[in-house]
């Protein structure tokens, strides 16, 4: 009987210490683009926008802190991995949510980015949501739309995961996750070893008259460089933007990375390039060197690291 009482008392003490430790962890302040955001407690009615940001939340096991997600089905089809992770959560808006959508869901946190659920000067921004006590954390890659920032690296995605860990009081979990991603990325870099020169790469997202692509500040640039390549549009001071075909032809990419989503399939995009006489002298077209990345792999999120491994295989198969 005394043993049972001692065990119960010990368990109660441990629970009290755990609760106390969690309470002592707050408030926490994180950097979000050009703002500092302070949290007095972990959000309990969080909403994420877009498939890649939602996957960051899922990778951290934050489903129980979420009221739902937005901005997936209106743009892209949910794949099975994501569908399984969010099956208990409602999609509150197929595209960008309105302020009313967030208010009606009683949201206390919105994880989004500029052009990932928010537009500069739009209805839903950190400033417009502040009076309603909805705190916003902005995707680091997207900060280029509102401030000067350095060229992206994979650390941008890791920083977002670590900041989410701090916001939700799960720092150890976030650190373990990031540590695993970094180890896998380091292994890819180790396999690559020394390369004579980076492979010239063009990212083809969409568009026929003019291609939509990733410039210097898009995460594909960081992924391509980590895989031993160079984005031929590295001098375009944008994250994602429309360009003309002339510089693509002039810069003669050796590999074209196709971003797969939407109504036009990856196969159709490849066929367009292979069947257009204007592209016949591009090395990637002549040698049939295309790599397909799903949208969720080509935007900041948990699948970037595996995608870098696939890119490295395509760019430098002899090394891998």
Query: Using CA atoms, how far apart are residues 259 and 265, in angstroms rounded to an integer?
Result: 9
Q: Residue 161 domain-assigned?
A: yes
Residues 159, 235 within the same domain: no
Q: Does residue 205 share a domain with residue 251?
A: yes
Contact 109, 84 (CB under 8 A): no
Quick: pLDDT tens for 65-83.
999 999 988 877 666 776 7
Last residue of a domain, one of 112, 146, 178: 178
Look at residue 116 and tell me whether its pLDDT is greater than 60. Answer: yes
* Structural domain for 212, as ranges: 193-315
CA 147 to chain centre: 19
- What CATH number does residue 233 fall under? 3.40.50.1980
pLDDT tens profile 156-209? 999 999 999 999 999 999 999 999 999 999 999 999 988 889 999 999 999 999
State whether 31 and 141 are in the same domain: yes
Q: Are residues 174 and 197 in the same domain?
A: no
pLDDT value at position 19? 45
User: Domain check: are 48 and 79 in the same one?
Assistant: yes
Rounded CA gap, 119 and 121, in Å? Answer: 6
- Within a domain: residue 16? no
3-state helix, strand and coil shares in percent for the chain, rounded to the nearest 5: 45, 20, 35
pLDDT tens, 221-242?
A: 999 999 999 999 999 999 999 9
Residue 18 falls inside a structural domain = no
42 & 143 share domain: yes
Domain count, the chain: 2
319, β-bridge pairs: none
Q: How confident is the model at residue 289, as a pLDDT?
A: 98
**Same domain assignment for residues 132 and 248:** no
In the listed set 178, 205, 221, which residue is the last one of a domain according to the structure? Answer: 178
Q: Which long-range contacts (CB under 8 A, 24 or more apart) does 262-267 make?
A: 262/75, 262/76, 262/206, 264/206, 266/292
Please state, rounded to an integer, the average pLDDT across all residues of the chain: 91
Does the residue 184 lie in any domain? Answer: no
Helix runs in 62-170, H state only: 80-85, 99-104, 126-129, 155-167
DSSP state of 234: T
Residues 98 and 219 both lie in one domain = no
Same domain assignment for residues 244 and 283: yes
| 173 and 205 part of one domain | no
C-alpha distances (whole Å) from 222 to each of 60, 196, 234, 274, 315 are 23, 19, 10, 27, 14
Distance CA 45, CA 43 (A): 6
Which two structure tokens, joined as six digits, stand for 62?
Answer: 């934050």
| Torsion of Cα atoms, 246 then 252 then 258 then 259, to 10° | -60
pTM metric for this prediction: 0.89
pLDDT category, 6, cuts 50, 70, 90? very low
């Amino acid at each position: 009987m005394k043993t049972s009482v001692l065990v119960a008392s010990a368990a109660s003490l441990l629970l009290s210490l755990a609760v106390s430790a969690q309470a002592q962890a707050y408030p926490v302040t994180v950097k979000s683009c050009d703002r500092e955001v302070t949290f007095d407690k972990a959000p309990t009615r969080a909403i994420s926008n877009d498939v890649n940001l939602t996957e960051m939340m899922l990778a951290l096991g934050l489903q129980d802190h979420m009221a739902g997600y937005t901005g997936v089905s209106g743009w892209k089809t949910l794949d099975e991995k994501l569908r399984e992770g969010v099956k208990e959560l409602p999609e509150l808006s197929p595209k960008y949510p309105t302020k009313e959508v967030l208010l009606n869901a009683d949201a206390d946190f919105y994880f989004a980015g500029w052009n990932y659920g928010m537009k500069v000067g739009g209805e839903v921004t950190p400033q417009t949501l502040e009076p309603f006590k909805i705190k916003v954390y902005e995707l680091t890659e997207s900060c280029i739309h509102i401030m000067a920032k350095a060229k992206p690296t994979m650390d941008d995605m890791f920083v977002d995961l670590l900041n989410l860990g701090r916001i939700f009081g799960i720092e150890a979990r976030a650190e373990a996750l990031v540590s695993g991603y970094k180890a896998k990325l380091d292994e890819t870099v180790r396999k690559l070893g020394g390369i004579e020169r980076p492979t010239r790469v063009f990212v083809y997202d969409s568009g026929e008259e003019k291609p939509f692509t990733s410039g210097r500040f898009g995460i594909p640039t960081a992924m391509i460089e980590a895989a031993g390549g160079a984005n031929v549009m590295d001098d375009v001071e944008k994250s994602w933007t429309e360009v003309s075909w002339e510089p693509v032809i002039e810069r003669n990419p050796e590999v074209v990375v196709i971003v797969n989503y939407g109504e036009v399939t990856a196969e159709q995009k490849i066929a367009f390039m292979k069947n257009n006489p204007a592209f016949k002298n591009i090395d990637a077209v002549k040698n049939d060197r295309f790599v397909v990345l799903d949208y969720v792999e080509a935007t900041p999120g948990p699948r970037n690291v595996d995608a870098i491994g696939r890119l490295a295989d395509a760019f430098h198969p002899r090394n891998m």
